Amino acid sequence: MSTGPTDRPGAIDARPLRHPWRWVAVALIAVLVAMLISSFVTNPRWDFPFAFQIMQQRPVIEGLWKGTIFGTVSAMLLGIVVGLALSVMRLSDNPVLRGVAFVYTWFFRAIPRYVLLALLGIGVGFLYNEFRIGLPFGQQISHLLGLKSDLTFFGLNWNALSSTIWVGVIGLGLSEAAYMAEIARAGILSVDPGQREAAQALGMSSGKSMRRIVLPQAMRVIVPPTGNETIAMVKDTSLLIAIPVITELYYQAYQFGQRSFKIMPGFVAATLWYLIVCSILMVGQYYLERYYGRGFGRTTARKNKRFARPGGAGGA
Amino acid sequence: MSSLPTGVSTRHTGEPLVRALNVIKAFHGAEVLKGIDFDVHPGEVVCLLGPSGSGKTTFLRCINQLEKIDGGRIWVDGDLMGYDDRGGTLHQLSDKAIAAQRCEIGMVFQRFNLFPHMTALANVMEAPVRVRGEKKSDVRVRALGLLERVGLSDKADSYPAQLSGGEQQRVAISRALAMSPKLMLFDEPTSALDPELVGDVLAVMRELAAQGMTMIVVTHEMSFAREVADRVVFMDGGVVVESGHPKDVIDNPQHERTKLFLKRMRSHDDPDRPTVQDARSQG
Ligand SMILES: Nc1ncnc2c1ncn2[C@@H]1O[C@H](COP(=O)(O)OP(=O)(O)OP(=O)(O)O)[C@@H](O)[C@H]1O
Ligand SMILES: [Mg+2]
């Protein structure tokens, strides 16, 4: 092609850049996948038909609903509510609230969830049969004064509760709150301070401006990591056995494999259920993100109608 | 003291709507406001001029307590802002009481600060419904009326991100007016706008002034100050340098600092002159 200095360059017809390493990677992956499939087919210990059967067993389904899903939803709800409260405390002017929130986060981030669940399920029941909320040393004081009441305002029988899903919800929820507090704090800090000032200038109290103006905007930043936390929580419900609570997906599926001396199908059944639940959650997360992203980005086409004010000549 | 403080008007005899006496504000030990005296009478439009960093924004924010003052007193409509004066001893007001004081004061920000997750209409309705607890249907009618007044009836359902800067600022003015404030504070309401959008916002403000709203306007729009203001107050370095009728202050300034500032402003206003070099040669 002759391109004289006066010719204007035409359409581009260039050789594409080659990516030889991509092809090497594809080949490698193909080999690995083939090996896996070969194992599935030739090794009878996988026993997929039995895994599918386990997935449909009543105790497994019950464990999925009452343990895994119920546990996830309730623990996340508790975690979000307590976490939001903690994040607001962390950001408040009140040094007492800030301190409490800091210590809480410090403690619950440090303690492993398995240990926390065991502590709540086994340890607390060992310490107290019954929770009594009342004056410190209430029994002793009332004895001294010869009162009938033992100055207890509220009692809770922990033994009746100690190996139910509720202990799991409390443990996982309180632990989650520590993480949610950090997520919510980042979300709140991401909102332009001018938003809070505009709300306050309109006469909103700081609580109202937080609820109506700051938090809804912070949600845009809070929702994506909360989705991750929820997915992590689905998996952490398999720790409920520490309490011990056995109405839970993993333990039930594992038990089925154990009892029939076929270990692998139990694991496979649990894995497949976890994959399904997490996939559904990811779809839900997409819609939540879309909802809280409203008003950001120009989603609706702008009508470019210029408005004309009668007699409104510009002053500048 | 024999002479009246410079920011205090002498034309009016009635009670001022805003009275600031010896207002002092420091950030991290650095005094930004060094004893501001300032009166605004009902129905008056006061334009606050001054170079960057002179404390104009800070002073406006002190009036509605977005900043806490370190010294002096501010009264709005007879109420001492932020404190309860019980026989000479000041008691800090609660969050709620301060919020109630702010209801009477509308504020318009340089960067609009509309709530981005709400439509224009919802922005305007928010405070009357959530703060005053008024009925939604009533507020809706009023809010639509306010949006119509600023020429934005057709944008009621748009989100702020779908509006131009000028439109956003007019929604922000409607939002402030929805609380029927006694006083409106404007902090450079047009300085974040493209030049061709400034006129629409200023037109709304002119109309508001004509209707008798008491306004304190921080602005660099000299023609607006000249035509609309009843009084111009020039601030520099955290003090009021001079104050008076716009014609007097703008066309015949008494102080060196005012003269220098106005000279610079004029060179900015005139598009034919190379502003940057001009400012440099003078600074
Ligand atoms: N929150 C703050 N913390 C520390 N310093 C501040 C703060 N706000 C303002 N200042 C300082 O106070 C001084 C006055 O600021 P202010 O914003 O009131 O000036 P201004 O007159 O509004 O200027 P401009 O015309 O640029 O808006 C500046 O030196 C600024 O750096
Ligand atoms: Mg300013």
pLDDT single digits (tens) A1-33: 555 566 888 889 888 889 999 999 999 999 999
| Domain assignment of residue A313, yes or no | no
| Domain assignment of residue A40, yes or no | no
Cα dihedral value B273, B275, B276, B280, nearest 10: 90
Taking residues A167-171, report their average pLDDT: 95
CATH code assigned at A206? 1.10.3720.10
Joined tokens for residue A121: 């399920």
Strands of the sheet with B79-80, listed across from one edge: B30-40, B18-27, B71-76, B79-80
Binned at pLDDT 50, 70 and 90, residue B265 comes out as confident
Lowest mean pLDDT across A286-300, B36-50, B209-223: A286-300
User: What are the distances in angstroms from CA B103 to CA A202, B2, B64?
Assistant: 6, 36, 9
Ligand 1 pocket by Cβ (under 6 Å):
B 27, 32, 50, 52-58
The total of structural domains in chain A comes to 1
Name the residue among A147, A289, A308, A122 with its Cα closest to residue A222: A289
Maximum Cα interatomic distance, chain A, rounded to a whole number of Å: 113
- Indicate the SS3 state at residue B22: strand
| Domain assignment of residue A17, yes or no | no
Q: What is the pLDDT of residue A5?
A: 60
Binned at pLDDT 50, 70 and 90, residue B108 comes out as very high
Query: Chain A contacts of B110, Cβ < 8 Å?
Result: none
Q: Where are the alpha helices (DSSP H) in B64-215?
A: 95-102, 120-130, 136-149, 165-177, 195-210
A54: left (phi over 0), alpha (psi -120 to 50) or beta: alpha
Name the residue among B199, B249, B183 with its Cα closest to residue B49: B249
User: What are the distances in angstroms from CA A6 to CA A154, A209, B37, B99, B162?
Assistant: 94, 66, 73, 72, 46
| Domain assignment of residue A75, yes or no | yes
The pLDDT tens digits of the residues spanning A57-74 come to 999 999 999 999 999 999
Q: B58 CA to middle of ligand 2, Å?
A: 7
For the cut 50, the answer to whether the pLDDT of residue B283 exceeds it is no
Joined tokens for residue A64: 């999925």
Binned at pLDDT 50, 70 and 90, residue A128 comes out as confident
Q: What is the pLDDT of residue B268?
A: 66
CA–CA dist B253, B259 (Å, integer): 6
Q: Taking CB atoms and an 8 Å limit, are A314 and B103 in contact across chains?
A: no
Query: Where in the sequence is the domain holding A105, given as residue range(s)?
Result: 47-293
pTM assigned to the model: 0.79
Taking residues A51-56, report their average pLDDT: 92
Question: What does the DSSP 8-state code read for residue A162?
Answer: T
Q: Which atom of ligand 1 is nearest to the CA of B56?
A: 21
Q: Taking CB atoms and an 8 Å limit, are B102 and A202 in contact across chains?
A: yes
Q: What angle do CA A171, A176, A181 make, to 5 degrees?
A: 135
| Domain assignment of residue A158, yes or no | yes
| Domain assignment of residue A54, yes or no | yes
Query: Chain A contacts of B206, Cβ < 8 Å?
Result: 312, 315
| Domain assignment of residue A52, yes or no | yes
| Domain assignment of residue A91, yes or no | yes
CA distance B241 to chain A (A): 25
Is residue B272 classed exposed, middle or buried when 0-12, 13-18 and 19+ CB atoms within 10 A define those classes? exposed
User: What is the Rg, in whole angstroms, of the alpha carbon atoms belonging to chain B?
Assistant: 19
Q: B52 CA to middle of ligand 2, Å?
A: 7
The pLDDT tens digits of the residues spanning A181-206 come to 999 999 999 999 999 999 999 999 99
Query: Chain B contacts of A208, Cβ < 8 Å?
Result: 130-131
| Closest protein CA for atom 12 of ligand 1 | B32
Joined tokens for residue A160: 């009746």
- Which residue type is seen at B124? V
Maximum Cα interatomic distance, chain B, rounded to a whole number of Å: 60
For the cut 50, the answer to whether the pLDDT of residue A273 exceeds it is yes
CA distance B76 to chain A (A): 14
